[in-house]
A and B are shown apart, each in its own frame.
Chain A
Amino acid sequence: MRKTLATLSVMAMLLVVPAACKTGPMISVDSEEVNLGTIKQGSKPSAKYVFKVKNTGDSVLVIRDVRPG
């Protein structure tokens, strides 16, 4: 009986401890606004910018949607 209890409490600790330090997915970007400067119209059909997005959390970051606005 005592052995079973001990085993159970160890198992419970194993479950609780990792859950406590879990942060979940965290999103981070160097800058949320960039200035591309002056562009001459007709020099290119479109302007692109690559935002580097880092997952600083400890589980998978899922980007569900990116929409204008």
Chain B
Amino acid sequence: MVGFDTTILPGREGSITPEVNLSKAHGGTFSKCVTVTSNAKNKPEMHLCVKMTLKVPLAANPEYIQMKRGKSGAFEVEFTLTTDKPDLAIKEVTFKSSSQGTGAGQAAWMSSLPDHLMFLLTKQDKPTADGSWDYKLKLTGDVGDLKENKFGEFVVATNHPDVPELKLNGLIDVSPEPKK
């Protein structure tokens, strides 16, 4: 979105006001530019850029979680959480399936219940360059004898006042490990 004055008299000043929507933006440093087209003799096309660093209170990387069968036979995944909170704690991690399919021998009502996952949060020693903290979150879960991939939502309950629940889309991938 951008507001601007359409005509500026000689010697006068006008304004061009670009607006960047932050609700859809991801964390990190980025630039948003606009191209100004005018009848100016010196610069018929001018680029105006706004640069900023957006600090997200709590973000996961990657944002899409894929749990795969590990060596122990249980499903597991590890990903990074970046936060401004130096004493982040996880209260609970659940997986709520959105698939219609059920696990073997599982009643339909059971598959609609969220699965509780075991979790292990490890803090990295040093803060990142912009003063945030990185944590490794490892999830492990025994979700029964799945025959097909299970898509759904991982809900990470935290002690962060701004993000009590971090919701992440993902899946439990039942495809076998490639044989060596």
Contact = CB atoms under 8 A, between A and B. Distances in A.
A61 B37 CA distance: 11
B130 interface: yes
20 contacts: A25-B39, A32-B47, A33-B51, A38-B54, A45-B23, A47-B19, A48-B17, A49-B50, A51-B17, A51-B48, A57-B40, A60-B8, A60-B10, A61-B7, A61-B38, A63-B6, A63-B7, A64-B38, A66-B35, A68-B35
Looking at chain B's contact residues, the main secondary structure is: strand
Contacts of A47: 19-20, 22, 50, 52
B179 interface: no
Nearest to B4: A66
- Interface of A (DSSP majority class): strand
Contacts of A52: 13-15
B21 A32 contact: no
Contact-size category for A = 35 or more
Lowest 9 CB-CB distances: which A-B pairs, in order?
A27-B40, A24-B41, A36-B52, A55-B8, A33-B49, A61-B8, A65-B37, A38-B53, A51-B16
Nearest to A48: B19
A26 B7 contact: no
A57 B40 CA distance: 8
Contacts of B20: 46-48
Contacts, number: 175
A15 B12 CA distance: 26
B37 to A, nearest CB: 4
B55 interface: yes
Interface string A33-47: 111111111101111
B177 interface: no
Contact of A26 (B31, B40, B55, B57): B40
Given A25-B41, A60-B8, A41 B13 contact: no
